[in-house]
Amino acid sequence: MPEDKLRGKSLAAVAADIADGFIYLNPLILKDFSSDVYKEIHNHLRKLQTAVRNEKFPSHDQAAIRKRNLKLQRLHQAVVVLQNSARVKRIIL
């Protein structure tokens, strides 16, 4: 598997799919990845998390607020799973 691809997708697209809820990141998915892929996914997740936070806050739209918060929650959960899996494998992110 190429280092910058995951199931035919770039790691940036995978991070976007995680944020949208199409992919759930868990230790079983991460077990065969090298330390470089861990670092790349971590960087893309952090960049996307920052991008979502920098978007204008939808003050009067409850559906948009919920969508934004769900994206942030999914990204945070993926980062936590990634960090814990990296710690078990002794990979420094």
Question: pLDDT (tens digit, 9 = 90+) per residue, 38-56?
Answer: 999 999 999 999 999 999 9
Domain extent for 48: 5-89
pLDDT band per the 50, 70, 90 thresholds, residue 5: low
- Total structural domains in the chain? 1
Of 33-37, 69-73, 77-81, least confident by mean pLDDT is: 33-37
Nearest CA-CA partner of 75 in 14, 3, 32, 30: 14
pTM score, whole prediction: 0.88
Structural tokens at position 14? 């995978």
Name the maximum alpha-carbon separation found in the chain.
Answer: 45
Q: How large a percentage of the chain has pLDDT more than 70?
A: 92
